[in-house]
Amino acid sequence: MDVNTAIVEVVRTEWPRLMAALVRDLGDLGRAEDAAQEAIEVALANWPTDGIPDRPGAWILTVARRRAIDKLRRDQNRLQKSELLARLEQRTTPETELDFDSPESLLGDEQLQLIFACCHPSLNTESQTALTLRCITGLSTREIARAFLTPEPTMAQRLVRAKRKIESAGIPLRVPPDSDLLDRLAVVHGVIYLLFTEGHTRSESDLLTGVDLCDEAIRLGRLLTRLVNDSSETFGLAALMLLSHARRAARTDDAGDLVLLEDQDRTRWDHAMIAEGQALLARALRFADPGPYQLQAAINALHAEAARAGDTDWRQIALLYSRLLRHQPTPVVQLNHAVAVAMTDGPEAGLALLDGLAEPLAGYRYFDSTQADLLRRAGRTEEAATAYERALQHCDNAAEQRFLTRRLESVSHPSPDP
């Protein structure tokens, strides 16, 4: 790792705690963000020559507070601000600097408060995701804009509006009371998982953005497991993302073409990530309250545990999908359930479960490609070809298009069975 990469990583690791400390000190998201950004720029300018300080978090926080003080002094025209100034100046004494490195100063509550504010249900999804990336994972506005394929000014405006709403609508910076905690946590999980699925779709298409939303989502998921320790789904979500992401390198071949799970080179899976996911899933399951994220994580864990595709415990996977259907009785989950059933009871059994899904999943390319694949395996090649053609019509991902075209050719001009 070169020094610049190391610096960026340090900065990104320290960012949520830095923001939490600054929001606590300054009482304002926008002001905190400005101060943090300025301090990071000073770090990026100085550390390549001076080296990374022993206590990088405290270093950045000190600079950020000084910047905030300077700004407040220039702008000191209200009583409120002078009070703030006095409080801030107190915080820049050496003793409190040391605080930032003590275990008690993880600022867990402050970080959580910030996360709950960014994912407040009164903000729309676009604002929630953008704000969470900016305030918690520390991506720059430009990076967030790239990740969402949005022009930078549009993203900048979205962030400004979201921050303004937090301020003017009085969205509180606090952890919700117990009565609301689970609901609000579910919103946070939803925002993180949305970022992950968004990144998942992107990483399989042309990745030119330099920002991987999957990595950001995983960063958030891991952070949340450190801040919340009594929610099984928080662990389940992190486990799900890790177990799924661990297969990323094997998902495409050297030509960038899609490789199906059963054909993947399992040595290319990230086994450290799988182990981390398994450990988190084990922690989640101790709560004996398996929610949708845990069930999906468990399904992914079963795939990860099979040394060869043929060893996959499809019966258990089918069972987990039927449990998942109770939480999420959606056509997409039904589709996945059908796939698992087809693996244990044969393609015709799977096809039977697809009945009635054609309409709700019309235009969903995985429906057509799944149906095509089951038809192919059932030896119904003509119907399979028609289904592959339909799948191709709905596919805008280059790697998947090549895959479907190859499959279509194989059923249209069948070669002798290998």
Contacts with another protein, residue ranges (CB under 8 A):
120, 122, 168-172, 174, 176, 180
CB nearer to another protein: give 175 or 241.
175
Inter-CA distances, 76 with 84, 92, 273, 377, Å: 10, 19, 50, 74
Closest-CA residue to 165 (of 133, 122, 104): 122
The minimum distance between CB 190 and another protein, in angstroms, equals 18
CB nearer to another protein: give 89 or 180.
180
CB nearer to another protein: give 72 or 171.
171
Burial 310-335 (b: 16+ CB within 10 A, else e): eebbbeebbbbbeebeeeeeebebbb
Whether the Cβ atoms of residue 243 and residue 300 lie closer than 8 Å to each other: yes
Long-range contacts (CB closer than 8 Å, 24 or more residues apart) made by 369-374: 369/395, 369/400, 369/404, 369/407, 370/335, 370/338, 370/339, 372/404, 372/407, 372/411, 373/407, 374/338, 374/339, 374/342, 374/347, 374/350
The minimum distance between CB 176 and another protein, in angstroms, equals 7
Q: Give residue for tokens 């592959």.
A: 388
The minimum distance between CB 88 and another protein, in angstroms, equals 23
CB nearer to another protein: give 164 or 226.
164
CB nearer to another protein: give 80 or 102.
80
Closest-CA residue to 240 (of 325, 289, 300, 302): 300
Residue 85, token pair as written in the block: 């100034």
The minimum distance between CB 189 and another protein, in angstroms, equals 19
CB nearer to another protein: give 36 or 166.
166
The minimum distance between CB 122 and another protein, in angstroms, equals 6
The minimum distance between CB 172 and another protein, in angstroms, equals 4
CB nearer to another protein: give 98 or 169.
169
Residue 348, token pair as written in the block: 């015709």
The minimum distance between CB 120 and another protein, in angstroms, equals 8
